[in-house]
Amino acid sequence: MTVPSVPPTLSGKRPSKLFKNWMAKMASLPMILTALVVFVGGTAWTVTYSFTGSRMLPRTKWVGLDQYERLWSSDRWIISITNLGIYGICSLILTLFIGFTLAACLDRKIRFEGVFRSIFLYPFALSFVVTGLAWQWILNPDFGMQSVVRDWGWTAFSFDPLNNPDIVMFGLLIAGIWQGSGLIMCIMLAGLRGIDEDIWKAAKVDGIGTVKTYIMVVIPMMRPVFVTALVLIAAGIIKLYDLVVAQTGGGPGLSSEVPAKYVIELMFRAQNLGQGFAASTMMLCSVGIILIPWAYLEFGGRKRG
């Protein structure tokens, strides 16, 4: 952090930059302190203790990189990050695609737009735990979708993702997208409404088709909206935890484990704080690897321009 180095001037003619808007700065002081102590301080503490052999209670018994070695040789951790990768990529693409498509459909000035908007946004009002349980029941082979379709006569129909280790992540993905795409749709819709009517008129005059206008003209204009949506989706992916706990409990076996669950279980069930801290530090690093280049491109570029 850089501290403004301008000393308060005694002349009084040109007040220091530090005291400019001092009321506003005073008001935001509690938040600045919270951010420093809770977020930065907490992060530093966690990273520091990830180099210790802390078990149930934090202790300064230094073990170097042992926790990280164990982490990366643990099957469960490797499974967890692979799962997060699969879920993350699919969820990012599908949520953006579905969200934008739904928004574009609603944007065509259809009837009962408000009703549809509420229906699509409704899942977002539910907690992940409710979503997870509901989809656990829907995907249950004995009571849910599979049995309903079989009752209709397709007796060979088989759809049982939650009990199949190979495709269980897609069972989670369905629930995640069902819940998340409504919000993205609303953000996209707001973005679409912000596009000037004249653009559409111009496109029409030039004889460009509707779909082509969306892809070639409207989407590039909606860049800030997409960035917002992207950040929201990415944050949701990294902290994926409650959905897994409610829907599969990480099973069958370890096949739907995720990093956040690894952290919680190691810290509180295995009573191994050091290992949990090492895993959460790795999560922080992964966020950093994605976020820093993006922030550089996004904000660094603007300054130059």
Question: Which DSSP helix (H) or strand (E) runs through 156?
Answer: none
Token pair of 190, please?
């707001």
CB of 34 to another protein, least distance (A): 20
Terminal-to-terminal C-alpha distance of the chain: 24
Cβ atoms 88, 260 nearer than 8 A? no
Give min distance, CB of 155 to another protein, in A: 16
Q: Mark 80-119 with x for binding to another protein (rule: CB under 8 A) and - for no binding.
A: ----------------------------------------
Instruction: Using CB under 8 A, pick the residue from 46, 47, 48, 141 that binds another protein.
Output: 141
Residue from the set 2, 30, 75, 302 that interacts with another protein by CB under 8 A: 75
Residue 76 found at the interface with another protein (CB under 8 A): yes
Which of the stretches 32-40, 50-58, 146-154, 192-200 binds another protein when contact is defined by CB under 8 A? 50-58
By CB under 8 A, residue 281 contacts another protein? no
Of 101 and 136, nearer to another protein (C-beta) is 136
Determine, following the binding rule CB under 8 A, whether residue 129 of this chain makes contact with another protein.
no
Report the alpha-carbon angle 257-175-278, nearest 5: 25
Instruction: List the structure tokens of 91.
Output: 């969820």
Contact indicator for 160, 145 with CB cutoff of 8 Å: no
Contact 283, 263 (CB under 8 A): yes
Out of 107, 113, 242, 265, the only residue in the binding site for another protein (CB under 8 A) is 265
Considering the complex, what minimum distance in angstroms separates the CB of residue 270 from another protein?
A: 4
Cα 43 to Cα 37: distance, rounded to the nearest angstrom: 9
CA distance 277 to 256: 21
Does residue 177 contact residue 94 with C-beta atoms inside 8 Å? yes
Q: Which is nearer to another protein, 65 or 125 (CB)?
A: 65
Kindly state whether residue 275 participates in binding another protein, applying the rule CB under 8 A: yes
Report d(CA 88, CA 238) in Å as an integer: 8
Q: Which of residues 163-192 bind another protein (CB under 8 A)?
A: 163, 165
Length of the chain: 305
Contacting positions for another protein (CB under 8 A):
55-57, 75-76, 141, 160, 163, 165, 249-255, 265-266, 268-272, 275
